[in-house]
Each structure stands twice: as structure tokens, then as C-alpha cells.
Amino acid sequence: MIEFSFIPLFTWLVSLLAVPAILLCRKKPDVREGVTFLAAFLKLGMVFMMLPLIRDGKILHFRFGEILPGIPIEFRVDGLGILFALVASSLWILTTLYSVGYMRGLKEHDQTRFFAYFAISLSATIGVAFAGNLLTLYIFYEILSLSTYPLVIHHGDKEARTGGRTYLSHLLGTSVAFVLPAMIYCYWKSGTDINFTEGAFLDGKIGSSDGLIVLLAFTLGFAKSGLMPFHSWLPNAMVAPTPVSALLHAVAVVKVGVFCVLRIFTGVFDTDFLQKLNVGTVITYIAAFTIIVSSLIALTQDNLKRRLAFSTIGQLAYIVLGVSFLSSNGVTGSVMHIAMHAFGKITLFFCAGAIFVASGKKYISQMVGLGKQMPITMIAFLIGSLSIIGLPPFGGAWSKWYLFLGALDANQTAMVIVLVISSLLNIAYLLPIPVNALFRSPSQKDGKDSDSGIKEAPLACLIPLCITALAGLLFFLFPGLGFELAQLITK
Amino acid sequence: MTEHFPVLILLVPLFGALIVVLLGKERPNQCWMTSLISLGISSIISLFTVVAVLADKFQTIRYRMGGWPESNGYEVGIELRVDILAALVVFAVTFVGFVNTIYSKTRAETEVQGKVSFFYALIQLLIVGLCGIVMTNDAFNLYVLIEITSLTSYALIAMGNRRAALSSFNYVIMGTIGASFYLLGVGYLYIKTGTLNIDDIRMVLGNNNLWEHQSIIVAFIFIMLGLWTKMAFFPLHGWLPNAYAYAPSMTGTFMAPLMTKVMVYVMIRVMVWLFGNEFVYSGQHVWGELVIWMSVIAIVAGSLLALARTDIKKMLTYLIVAEVGYMVGGAWLGNVTGQAGAFYHILSDAAMTFCLFIAASIIVLRVGDSRVNAFDNLFRKMPLTMIGFTVGALSMIGLPPTCGFFSKWYLISGGIEAGQWEYVCALIFSSLVNAVIFFRIFERAYFGQITEVKEDFVPFDSDANPETAIKEVPWSMLFPLFIASGFVLLVGIMNRTLFEWIQTALKMVNT
């Protein structure tokens, strides 16, 4: 049931309208942050307004009018879109709170610019989530790349600019080089129809070898998903302030990447059609390779944020792996993992930022014994790690469970082994951090004096990370909504 | 009244030029006002022409100059012919001329001091020539008009700074060779067919089935080579960068968007109307594949040469060389999508080149240095100018919703349809290089040099420190920039309508 509605438009618009207000209130930081909070709550509220309608099996749409022959700029909200919007907009509120603590705690410069671009990025994210056709998706994808670029090079120093260049060249380069021609090819092949409707538009219109090339072009072209070999933008983006890394590079931007891949598998092709073409396995192997290699690289990283970045690359590859199984269990696992990993990883990034604000420490080797000074942060880190690893009683267990089921459905025994190995690697690169911090005392040599004055980070940093950590626990107990929304696209 | 529109478009600036000369160099303001009015009238008439053609269901307007009747079914006199394509290009020429005149107000008095009246007279003559080229239906008259535009542009360029004279001389040599090639080709056609009217030549060629005759093939090659020289198709582009970069800024802003584009229009005209698609795209001739590859080389070379420049104007001129490659390639793909895409790119490239050249001229004027390295903190110093520049730059890169995205969309569609993947790859390559080129500037202009101390970013705030105080140019320069960037967006948003018009016109001739 497709129903016309203005709510998707307003949901998209509200954070965009916040931008001029943020710029106008540049002299009054409290009002400025108030505007961001207002926009964030309104956005979440509107997503909640749409939620019951979507659960009833309705699809909300809004169109701006045709921009190319046969292609309108259109919003179309379905189960996958609403789930992603829900994750992004709820975490925006927490991240705003956290940003206030972080940015003020570090007395960062150019805070107005920071909050303004943050709001634009959220609008673009919602635009991707609600995109009703490939062109709309592409446009908002590009806007997201451009609007996060100033956030990445926020510090403006040499390292930030180098990181920013890598960031933009990878994201813009791949999308223009692969996605754009693939999209035009689809447009030409499918007879000017690239709208995501019931049933995928490329279904049955393309041969096996062409299909493989188009699928590869899309999957690698949406480089925000961090698949190797176009992953190196993500570790480089870690030069950004931590709230950016937390919301954008653990949730919004990277999830936009995998979200696009999910759309390609379900909305452009169809999982059944891909099975017929027999091209899914290529993506499976790329994803499996990415999972293992990125986990191994993560083990070697001493900079906490970089280690988390490589962990993100691996976790994103799980999501791609899940859809590439082309079974409904695999897709369910992927959709669930979008939400579960979002809450788990943002907790870890919040903790990393809190540690940096409180103690100025960036390297894992310096964090031994830090649990005494920062017990709450470190316990939250432990919970986040367990959720990412996928151990009960935390949310990540569900998505891992379904990924295993997906691998078994697809008769990919090798992939079951990959999943097992990678889970062990997850344990190896994540757990030592909180464990060492909580249960070991720092060796006598390195700075016992400097550590003594460290306290927990400001409350504005601490509250969000506690909430997200608790959410990981709650998702284990109440995973129903995620399943429901996932089932809406798999059926 | 409607039937007289074509000739009025030409006559108004022609008389405007005469009046300006009579006014003399003592009255720069009156000269400016006269040419503003004449070009304003001319662009309004050409807008009406567009409307008239559309209202008449794409019916071509034909106008016999001097009222010479045809004899034995052949045209004797010169015929003007305006279909929707010609009407759109004429509107682009006259409107850019009009807006550029606003921009010239303050610049002309400083850059061509003492020659203001000559400048305005020449620029109006140039516009007459360009409009004539677009509208004439007579192959020899086309040559005459090409020469008129060339002669006026030599003079206009030579008015620039010290190096302009040499660049203009270079242009004279190359331009003369190009025009002679074109004339030679027309000569062959005249010998073979005995007529100069483009439609009649086509008819005679068809009736006598002269398509495979050696001299016709030679004529085609000569005409193409001549036009490629005039449009700076790589590797015949040598004259262009210096000529446009060293010309007076208000000459550069007019010529860069229009001169090459009008020549591309002439090329499409010659290909589609004079020789016809069957002849040009027939598989018997090797040139189809060859020209596509040449355009690929033009696109790649133009982009790389632009990448290697640090002078912003030089950089933009090499981008024009690449863009010419886009259009030549699109026109030679051999399908209507490609042709229409190339034509759409004429309009969109005119808009974005105009936008970028004005922005670059303003920046160079204010910064006093044309090197990219000097553009620190421009977003703070000249926020309005940089907004205009950004719109043009995003269009060059090809990001929606600017027109550059849509022309790339259509050209790539044409390339995919024709199966010419090398052309598709070249377009994408050039987009990527453009992204590097412009983000290099953005990074500079947004963040300035790497410094340690930073205050909170305060946009649109003039009481910041003098280093970053706002130093915008007068409105007579900003206003044209905003019109140009507005058109970049408008042509982009209207792409569907424009593309339909173009396709209809091209399909009418093919059937």
C-alpha cells in the first residue's frame, strides 16, 4: 500500500532548516545547541510518527517532480528506510549531547561550523534512507560526502587535510567512477525506470556477465561501505573530532554505504534474480576477505580510534556478507546488524572520546589501569565490545546468529568458518582494552603522577555512552522491532 | 512581425556598434548604455524567437535576406534559418553578451582605457557575427561571418595586457588557417553542386547520389578540420589558452563561454544538415571511430593540462579544451542521444564557463594574483563571489543539481548506447580530475594556510580581523555572476524540457 505523505519531507527538512538557525545563533552557544536538540527531537518524533504506519505494511512516499525523463526526485519510506532513519535520528540526539561535552571540554574552534555541517549531514543521511529511486539515492549520497568533508578536516592541520583528501578522493572518486556509469547503464537497460518499487527494476533484464559487472560497480562504488580495496578513507577520517567519528564514521556515513548495498541487492536486483545469475559469491568472497584482513590489521593498531575504524570496516563487511548470501536469514542478519553495530560501535567511540577528553590519551598502550580513574567509561566499553563481538546477553548476538543461519542456508560452510574466526579476532582486538584497563595496574614506569589527576569525562559525555551501552543490553531482550522491519523487505 | 525576428536580432547590435563608434571615446558611459540597450533588445527578441518557434510546434523560421526569390527551386540570396536549436544558441549568445556588458561597466574603463568605444563596438560586432553564424543557411555566408567574428576577436584580445598581442597573433595564424580550410571545403561543395545554400547542397548531393564522390569526402574533411581548429579541438587548441587568459577580463568572460560553443554548433549543423547522418555515420568511413578516440584524447589531455596549471585562468582555458572534447565526442557517437547531449552541453557549458570566468576574473582582480596559491581564506573575504564560483565548479565536476551533471548524464547515456566505452571512461576521468582541480582551490579558499591559532568561524562577519575582512567587488560585477550561476542551476533543473526540445528538433531532420 503506497500512501502519499508529507512526513518524509519534513523529517528530511527539519535538520536542514536548523542550519540557518544554527548560523544565526553563532554568538549564543547555548541557544545554538538548543536548536540542534530541537531539530533532533523533532526528527526522531516524526520518524516515530511514521513507524506504526510502516509496521502496518504501508509505504509512504513524497515526490518533488521529474528531474530526468522517468526519474523523479522521490522519497519512499519502507521498512529498511525507517529502521535506518530510526537508528540515525535517535543517535543524533545522543551525539549532540556528547558533542556539547566533547567540543566544550576540549575548547574546540569553529563550533558553529561543526554543528551546521553536522545538521546537513543528518539531512543527507535521511535523504539516503528515504530515497525512492537510484538517482535520489545517488544525489544524497554525494551530498553526504561533501557535507562531511569539512567535519573531517575540522582541525585544519596538515594531518587533517591529508585525511580529508583521502576521504574525498575515495568517496567521490568511486561514486563518480563506478556508481554513476552503472546507474546510467541501468537506466538505459531497464528502459528509464530506476525507481525502487515492489520487485526490483533490473529483475530479468540483464545477463549474467553484465549483471556481475553492474553489481560489482555498485558494491565497490558505494565505498562508504568500506569494502576492500576502497576502505582506507575510514581510518584516515579518524582525524575528525570524536563525535564525528562516532555518529558519522560508525553510524551514518558507513551505514549509508551498506544501506546502499542492501538497496542494490534488494531493490535494483532481486535476491532471487541474483541467485539465478549466480553472481553473489564474488561479493561474498570480497566481504569475507575484508572481514579477516581488517580484523588482522585492527590487531596491530595502537591508536584506539584507528583500531575501532578497522573494526568498523570488518563489521560493515559482515553486513555485506549477510546480503550476499541471498537468503532471507542473511538479509535479516544484515538489517539487524546495521542497528546492533550502530549502538555498539558508537558506545566504543564515545568511550574513546571520553578518554581523550578526560586524559588526553589516544593510544591503547597508555590505557592500562585507566579503569580505576574512569570505571564507568571502561565498563561501558566492555559492554560495547561484548555486543560487537556478539555474545549474549547483548544485541549483537542476534545479528550474528542470523548471519550464521544465512551462511548455512546458502551452504557456505567456508563462510561459517570465516565468521567463527573473525569472532575470535574480534575478541582479540577488543576485549584486552577494557580488561587491561579494569583489572591491571599501570606499570610503574609510565607516568603514575600524570594519571593520578584523571577523572571521568564531563557528564554530557558520560550520559550518552551509558545510554547506548544499556541499549545494547535492551536489544537482546527486545529485538522484536528490528525483526519486524527486516521481515518487511525480505518477504 | 515574428518572421522578421531573425534579422532584427542581427540589426540591432549592428546599428548599436555604429552608434557607439559615432559616440566616440570621450563618452564611455553613453557607449556602455548604448550597447547595454542594444544587446538587451536583441536578447529579448531572441527570447521571443524561442517562444515563437515553440508556439509554432518547432516550425523553422526562414527569412530571405533582401527578399531574393528562389529560382528553379534553388535559393539565390542568403537565407536565415532559425529552428529551436538555433534560437536557443542565439539566445545564449545575446543574453551572455547582455549580462557581460553589465559586468564590463567598471572593467572597461580601467582595462581598455581610451578604447572603450572601440571595445563596445567590437563586442557588438562579435555578437552580430556569432548570431549570424548560428542562423545563416548559406555555407559561404557562414565563412564570411566566421571571418567577421575572428577579426573582431583578434582586435578584442589584442587590447589586453602586454602578452595579449602575441597571443592574438597566434590566434590570427591559427584562425586564418582554420577558416581557409573551411572555405576550401565549401569550394569543393560549390564546384560539385553549384549552390551554396545548405539545404540545397544537401538536396543536390542526395538527388545525384554524390555521397561517395571523392571530392565530397575531401570537402567534409576540410570543413571538419577547419571547424576543429576554430573550436580548439585538441591538438589544434594551441591558440586558445593564451588568447583567453591574456585578453581583457571582460573579453575573456564573453569569448570563453561562447566562441568554441558556437563552432561546435556549426559542426553539428554541418554534420546533421549539410552532409546528413547517413553520410557522416556510415560505417564505410574510418572517421567515426577515429574522431571518438580523438575526443577521448582531447578530454584526457585537456583535463591533465588543466591539472598542471596553477594559474586559474589558464586552468579554466584548458578545461574548455576538455569540454570541447566532450561535445565533439558526443556529436560523433552516432545516435540522437549523443547529438542531443552534445547540444545540451553547448548550453550548459556556456552557462558554467561564463559563471567560472566571471568568478575567476573577480577573484584575480581582488586578490591581485591569478595563482591558486594566493587564494587563502577567500570564502571569508569574498563569500558571495565564492558561492558563485562553487556553483560553477560543482557543475564542472558534474554534481547534481547543476547542469554539468545532466549533460554528463546524457553524454554518458549516448556513449553507453553506442557502446563507446572509451568515451564513457574519458568523461568519468575528466570528472574526477575536475574534482581534484576544484577541491584543491576549495581547500585553500576555505581553510587558508595551515596555522596554529584559530578563532571561532564567523561567516558573513566583516568586523573580523583585517586579513579576513570582507572585500567584495561592486554589484555591477556580482550581479552578472549571480545570473550566470542562476543559469547553471536553471539549465540543470530544466534539463528534461530542454533535452526534449533538442531531441525533437534533431529527430525532425532525421526523418
Average pLDDT over all residues of chain A:
83
Instruction: Provide the domain count of chain A.
Output: 2
Same domain, A220 and A351: no
Asked if A67 and B495 come within 8 Å (Cβ–Cβ), the reply is yes
A272 within a domain of the structure (yes/no): no
Please say which residue of A213, A233, A265 terminates a domain. A265
ipTM value, please give it.
0.83
Same domain, A158 and A183: yes
B479 touches chain A (CB under 8 A): no
Nearest CA in chain A to B491: A67
CB B134 within 8 A of CB B93: yes
Asked if A181 and B454 come within 8 Å (Cβ–Cβ), the reply is no
Contacts of B406 in chain A (CB under 8 A): 68
Kindly report the backbone phi and psi dihedral angles of residue B241, in degrees, each rounded to the nearest multiple of 5, phi listed first: -55, -50
Please say which residue of A265, A300, A316 terminates a domain. A265
A135, A161, A177: residue with CB nearest B443: A161
B302 band by pLDDT with thresholds 50, 70 and 90:
very high
B510 band by pLDDT with thresholds 50, 70 and 90:
low
A270 within a domain of the structure (yes/no): no
Asked if A187 and B413 come within 8 Å (Cβ–Cβ), the reply is yes
**Each residue's pLDDT tens digit, A98-150:** 888 777 777 777 778 888 888 888 889 999 988 888 888 999 999 998 888 88
Q: Cis link prior to A393 (omega < 30° from 0)?
A: yes
B378 band by pLDDT with thresholds 50, 70 and 90:
confident
> How far apart, in Å, are the Cα atoms of B134 and each of B86, B195, B259, B497?
6, 19, 11, 21
- The residue with greater pLDDT, A288 or A368, is A288
Question: CB B355: neighbour CB atoms within 10 A?
Answer: 31
Same domain, A256 and A299: no
What is the distance in angstroms between the Cα of B435 and the nearest Cα belonging to chain A?
8
A177 within a domain of the structure (yes/no): yes
Asked if B456 and A110 come within 8 Å (Cβ–Cβ), the reply is yes
Q: Chain B, 425-444: which have a CB under 8 Å from a chain A CB?
A: 428, 431-432, 435-436, 439, 443
Asked if B450 and A177 come within 8 Å (Cβ–Cβ), the reply is no
Same domain, A246 and A313: no
Same domain, A287 and A227: no
Cα–Cα distance for residue pair B187/A449, rounded to 1 Å: 94
B463 touches chain A (CB under 8 A): no
Q: In the beta sheet, which residues pair with residue A59?
A: A2
SS3 state of residue B86: helix
Asked if B409 and A176 come within 8 Å (Cβ–Cβ), the reply is no
Asked if B496 and A67 come within 8 Å (Cβ–Cβ), the reply is yes
**Interval A20-41 mean pLDDT:** 83
In this model, does residue B463 exceed pLDDT 70? no
pLDDT for B95: 93
A347 band by pLDDT with thresholds 50, 70 and 90:
confident
A107 touches chain B (CB under 8 A): no
Cα–Cα distance for residue pair A37/A96, rounded to 1 Å: 7
Contacts of B451 in chain A (CB under 8 A): 156
B399, B416, B446: residue with CB nearest A142: B399
Nearest CA in chain B to A157: B450
A109, A156, A184: residue with CB nearest B450: A156
Interstrand relation of A71-77 and B61-64 (parallel, antiparallel or unpaired): unpaired
Same domain, A152 and A21: yes
A316 within a domain of the structure (yes/no): yes
Contacts of B499 in chain A (CB under 8 A): 69
Same domain, A287 and A157: no
Contacts of B493 in chain A (CB under 8 A): 67
At A450, which amino acid appears? S
**Each residue's pLDDT tens digit, B190-206:** 998 888 888 888 888 88
- The residue with greater pLDDT, B509 or A172, is A172
Helix, strand counts (H, E) of chain A: 22, 3
* A–B interface: beta-carbon pairs under 8 A: 83
Asked if B454 and A156 come within 8 Å (Cβ–Cβ), the reply is yes
Domain ranges of chain B: 286-511
Contacts of A110 in chain B (CB under 8 A): 454, 456-457
**Each residue's pLDDT tens digit, B157-195:** 888 878 888 888 889 999 999 999 999 999 999 998 888
Angle subtended at Cα B394 by Cα B388 and Cα B399, rounded to the nearest 5 degrees: 140
Asked if B447 and A153 come within 8 Å (Cβ–Cβ), the reply is yes
pLDDT for A339: 84
Best of A109, A169, A184 to disrupt the B interface (most B CBs within 10 Å) is: A184
B68 touches chain A (CB under 8 A): no
In this model, does residue A445 exceed pLDDT 70? no
Q: Which of A197-201, A462-466, A476-480, B29-33 has the highest mean pLDDT?
A: B29-33
**Interval A12-32 mean pLDDT:** 83
pLDDT for B265: 93
- The residue with greater pLDDT, B134 or A456, is B134
Cα–Cα distance for residue pair B295/B282, rounded to 1 Å: 19
B452 band by pLDDT with thresholds 50, 70 and 90:
very low
Q: Angle at which helices A304-324 and A413-430 pack, to 10 degrees?
A: 160
Cα–Cα distance for residue pair A282/B353, rounded to 1 Å: 43
Best of B403, B452, B454 to disrupt the A interface (most A CBs within 10 Å) is: B454
pLDDT for A443: 63
Nearest CA in chain B to A27: B458
A142, A156, A168: residue with CB nearest B439: A168
A271 within a domain of the structure (yes/no): no
Kindly report the backbone phi and psi dihedral angles of residue B74, in degrees, each rounded to the nearest multiple of 5, phi listed first: -115, 150
In this model, does residue B464 exceed pLDDT 60? no
A161 touches chain B (CB under 8 A): yes
In this model, does residue A94 exceed pLDDT 80? yes
B424 touches chain A (CB under 8 A): yes
What is the distance in angstroms between the Cα of A426 and the nearest Cα belonging to chain B?
37
pLDDT for B451: 55
pLDDT for B143: 93
Same domain, A305 and A256: no
A283 within a domain of the structure (yes/no): yes
A66 touches chain B (CB under 8 A): yes
Q: Which three cell numbers stand for residue A112?
A: 558553529
Asked if A26 and B456 come within 8 Å (Cβ–Cβ), the reply is yes
A259 within a domain of the structure (yes/no): yes
pLDDT for B353: 93
Question: CB A444: neighbour CB atoms within 10 A?
Answer: 7
Angle subtended at Cα A158 by Cα A154 and Cα A163, rounded to the nearest 5 degrees: 65
SS3 state of residue B212: coil
**Interval A158-184 mean pLDDT:** 87
| Site of grid cell 512581425 | B1
Angle subtended at Cα B378 by Cα B376 and Cα B379, rounded to the nearest 5 degrees: 125
Contacts of A184 in chain B (CB under 8 A): 409, 412-413, 416
In this model, does residue A488 exceed pLDDT 80? no
Calculate what percentage of chain A has a pLDDT beyond 70.
Answer: 97
Contacts of A118 in chain B (CB under 8 A): none
**Each residue's pLDDT tens digit, B313-349:** 899 999 999 999 999 999 998 888 899 999 999 999 9
Asked if B458 and A26 come within 8 Å (Cβ–Cβ), the reply is yes
pLDDT for B434: 92
B457 band by pLDDT with thresholds 50, 70 and 90:
very low
CB B126 within 8 A of CB B149: yes
| Residue A315 structural domain | 279-491
pLDDT for B178: 92
Same domain, A9 and A60: yes
CB B484 within 8 A of CB B403: no
Weakest mean pLDDT among A178-192, A236-250, B287-301 = A236-250
SS3 state of residue A71: strand
Same domain, A294 and A371: yes
pLDDT for B327: 92
A110 touches chain B (CB under 8 A): yes
What is the distance in angstroms between the Cα of A157 and the nearest Cα belonging to chain B?
6
Contacts of B457 in chain A (CB under 8 A): 109-110, 112-113
Contacts of B400 in chain A (CB under 8 A): 67, 135, 138-139, 142
CB A374 within 8 A of CB A294: no
In this model, does residue B461 exceed pLDDT 50? no
**Each residue's pLDDT tens digit, B386-395:** 889 999 999 9
In this model, does residue B25 exceed pLDDT 80? no
Cα–Cα distance for residue pair A91/A125, rounded to 1 Å: 12
Q: Angle at which helices B421-447 and B312-332 pack, to 10 degrees?
A: 160
At B107, which amino acid appears? R
Residue A121 CB-density burial (10 A; 0-12 exposed, 13-18 middle, 19+ buried): buried
What is the distance in angstroms between the Cα of B55 and the nearest Cα belonging to chain A?
22
**Interval A286-313 mean pLDDT:** 88
A176 touches chain B (CB under 8 A): yes
pLDDT for A29: 78
Q: What DSSP character marks residue B370?
A: -
Cα–Cα distance for residue pair A374/A354, rounded to 1 Å: 9
A274 within a domain of the structure (yes/no): no
Calculate what percentage of chain B has a pLDDT beyond 90.
Answer: 38
Strands (E), A324-454: none
